[in-house]
Each structure stands twice: as structure tokens, then as C-alpha cells.
Amino acid sequence: MSDASIIEVHGRRVWDSRGRPTVEVEVKLSNGAGGRAIAPAGASTGSGEALDLRDGGTAFGGLDVKNSLAKVNGEIAKALEGLDASDQTAIDATLVELDGTPNRGRLGGNAIVATSLAVLHAAAAASRQPLWSYLSEGRPVRLPLPEIQIFGGGAHAARRVDVQDFMVMCPAASSFTEALEWTAEVYRAAGALMKRAGKLQGVADEGGYWPAFDCNEDALDTLMEAIAETGLQPGKHVGISLDIAASEFGRDGQYTLALDSRTLDTDQMISMLGRWLETYPIYSIEDPVAEDDPEGFRNFTQAYGSRCQIIGDDFLVTDAARVQAAAANGSLNAVLIKPNQAGTVTETLNALKAGKAAGFGTIVSARSGESEDVSIAHLSIGWDAGQLKVGSFSRSERMAKWNEVLRIEESLGARAQFSGWSALPFTPASK
């Protein structure tokens, strides 16, 4: 038995930021170390994601996780007990094999990701290092460029507007601390603007202001105004990042913009986004077209990939093979990295490595259903992803992640290096 042998795996039900049940797993090792992780949950999910297994039935809207927990406390615990927690690859291979399905549907992606991450935490604790440091294995790391939501939309705001995330990015900041300071000013200014306009109606799922707008462009104009109000310059200090999450309103090359009461085909969709790129200082666009529109991704990237980060989320679902295929045919230049889309830590890292090998931007990302779990803050730094997307600048399940990065930044002292522009896969004309 190695020093870091797993002696106990325990799953329990906890609750996420939407008040829904989710899976927490706690792992104990023979040397006394332990680790814990909570599965997040998406609302705008890609069809190729690891399956978030729910019980169905009437309790909690069918979203209970008793089946997943039974798997953790039964088969999973039995299979992992006695294994070396520091061999993450073997742990994850065991989980994948035990599940035996292509989409993690038997044990549940939620059970698997929480277990995989809990083992990782335990192994880091056994090595007496913070998780980010354990993951970095002595390689240099950068503090991530944050993408922070100001207005929520799409599936996170009852589809009040079509676009899901209206975010800001501050690659010109000199540090992670300063990027948060600039963002905090923009978030405040946006709230004040909404209040003055009589449009302040609380926040959406990820903490961005509720999008009480007449059209998507209204949100963009208000965001520009908010940036300008802070005294920071749009396009110089603060850029815009959008998650269109187009799979939510597009299929078979048809995109229905509910707010504007019109349907666009792929070319019209690309033209509309192109006009936004001309009008606003947009640094990043995620899922500009739907996951069933590979040609659309390619055409969009061919047209705009040299001046903008173009991220695949639903389209790539944190899958190394899909990332490699997208790189080979020039479909994107960045990949969103969500551990619960991949299933295990090892598969998540493989997708990130594939992204880096292709010269892609790599963005570790939270889900819209989150918790106090801060694992992704550590992954983004330890794996030197360069970017981190966590939702907005309010609500503690979001702030927990930003604040954890601040602690790590402080602990690095003079060694702290902010990724800034180096994280983005293009050079802006204004730079």
C-alpha cells in the first residue's frame, strides 16, 4: 500500500447556487490527507458532454442525485479503495472503465467529476502543497486573464435576451488584482446605469445584472456606456467578451432571435456578429454558431480569427479529439475547458494540452450552477491555462473563485505573473 492509498470515498448530497441538489465527494488517504470536491452543473449544455445524471421523478424537479451518490458510495468507493491517489491517470482510467459508457451515463458525470477532483485534492494535500502548485510540478505559471460577466442572458436569464454572457476582459491590466479592480468599477457602473434607467431587476444565474433590454445591441451599448463611465477606455483598458451560446437558439443553420422576432441563417448570423465586431471592442466570442454547424464555425473563424478569440464550448465539450479536429480544419482558435464536460481530471487536462499544442487560447470555466468549490481557480493556474471564466462579479459561488486567485497571487509575491495579452490567440490592432 502506498503512502497515499485511498482508504475511503464518501459521497453526500449538497446544494448548488441554483438551490439544486448536487454531488460532493470526500476522499481520505492512508497517510491522513484528504480532499473534497463538488460537481457543478450547466444550463446551456453541449450534447457531447458527460451526462449529469439525475434521478427524475417529482422530488426537486427530478434533479435529485441519489443514484449518483449510490454509485459513489458503492461501486466507485470499492473500485478506488487501495489505489494510489497520486496516480491520477490510473484513478481516472479506473473511473472511465468502471462506467463503461461513452457519455459517463451509467455512473453519472457528476459522480465521476466530483470523485476525480476529490482524489486530486487529496493527492495535493498529501504532497503538502496547494493544489495549483502540485499541478504545476515546478513549471512557471501565470495568473489567469479573467472573463467576467456584467449582464447575464440566454438560458441563465429565462432567455430575456438571446446572447448568454456579456462579459469584460482587461488584458491591459498589469496584474490579476488590477484586472479585478477595473472589472469591479465596470460592474458597479453598469448597476448604477441600470438603476438610473429604471431597469435594475436583480441578477441572472451567474450574478450578472438581469438583462432588461429591448435587443442584444442594447446590452452592448449599455456595457460600452458603463465602461466609459469608469474613466477606463473601451478597447484600450477594457474589452468585451461574448458567449453567444448559439446552440440554445440555433439548429440546422437557422437562428431564431426571439427578442428581435427574426430568424437568421448561418451567413446572416456571421454577418451580424461581424457588424458587432466592427462596432464594439470585442476581444472574444464563444459559440458564435450552434454545435451542429461546423461549417459556420469554420467560416466565422476564417473571417475573424485573426482579430478575435473564437472559443468552442458546446462545439468542443472539453474533448481532446474534437480540439485536434477543430485545429486541423481552422474552425476555432480557443477552447473552453470545463472539467464536468470531460468527466475526469485527466481528460480535462488532455483537452487543455490539445488546445495548447494547437496554439489555441485555453479558458478554464465554471458552470452556471456552482458552489463554494474553488478547484477551477487552481486548475487555471497550475495548468497555466492563461484564462479563467467564472461568471460575474457578485454572489459568493463566483467570488470564491476570484478571491482564491487573489490569495494565490499574493502567495506568489514577486513571482506572480499576470497572463494579460499573452493569453489571447491574436494581436489586437490597437496594441
* Catalytic annotation, residues: 206, 338
Residue 231 near residue 240, CB atoms below 8 Å: no
Q: Is 365 in the site for ligand 2PG (CB under 6 A)?
A: yes
The binder of 43, among Mg ion, ligand 2PG, none, by C-beta within 5 to 8 A per type, is: ligand 2PG
Query: Is residue 313 at the binding interface for Mg ion, with CB under 5 A as the rule?
Result: yes
Beta strands in 138-178 (DSSP E): 145-152, 165-169
**Under DSSP, is residue 10 helix (H, G, I), strand (E, B) or coil?**
strand
Question: Cell for 237?
Answer: 483598458
CA distances from 237 to 142, 309, 388 (A): 20, 17, 18
- Residues 224 to 243 in contact with Mg ion, rule: CB under 5 A: 243
Residue 88 or 392: the one with the smaller Cβ distance to ligand 2PG is 392
Q: Is 49 in the site for Mg ion (CB under 5 A)?
A: no
Nearer to Mg ion, 147 or 313 (CB): 313
Comparing CA positions, the residue from 182, 154, 318 lying closest to residue 249 is 154
Residue 34 or 312: the one with the smaller Cβ distance to Mg ion is 312
Among 22, 44, 88, 230, binds ligand 2PG (CB under 6 A): 44
As a whole number of angstroms, the distance between CA 298 and CA 325 comes to: 11
Reading the block at residue 399, the C-alpha cell is 467570488
Q: How far is the CB of 243 from Mg ion (least distance, A)?
A: 4
Q: Using DSSP bridges, classify how beta strands 165-169 and 145-152 pair: parallel, antiparallel or unpaired.
A: antiparallel
* Beta carbon of residue 311, minimum distance to Mg ion (angstroms, whole number): 8
Among 11, 42, 339, 386, binds ligand 2PG (CB under 6 A): 42
Which window, 11-19, 89-97, 215-223, 312-320, contacts Mg ion (CB under 5 A)? 312-320
- Site size toward ligand 2PG (CB under 6 A) is 14
Rg (CA), the chain: 21
Three-class secondary structure of residue 254 per DSSP = strand
By C-alpha distance, which of 324, 300, 170, 138 is closest to 234? 170
| Contact call for residue 243 and ligand 2PG (CB under 6 A) | yes
Question: What mask, x for binding Mg ion by CB under 5 A, covers residues 185 to 224?
Answer: ----------------------------------------
Q: Which does 36 bind (CB under 5 to 8 A by kind): ligand 2PG, Mg ion, none?
A: none
Helix and strand numbers (H, E) in the chain are: 14, 14
Toward Mg ion, which CB reaches closer, 313 or 409? 313
Of 179 and 366, which CB lies nearer to ligand 2PG in the complex structure? 366
Bridge partner residues of 141 (DSSP): none
Query: Residues 282-313, buried b or exposed e (16+ Cβ, 10 A)?
Result: bbbbbbbbbbebeebbbbbbebbbeebbbbbb
Residues that bind ligand 2PG (CB under 6 A): 42-45, 155, 164-165, 206, 243, 245, 313, 365, 367-368
Residues that bind Mg ion (CB under 5 A): 243, 286, 313
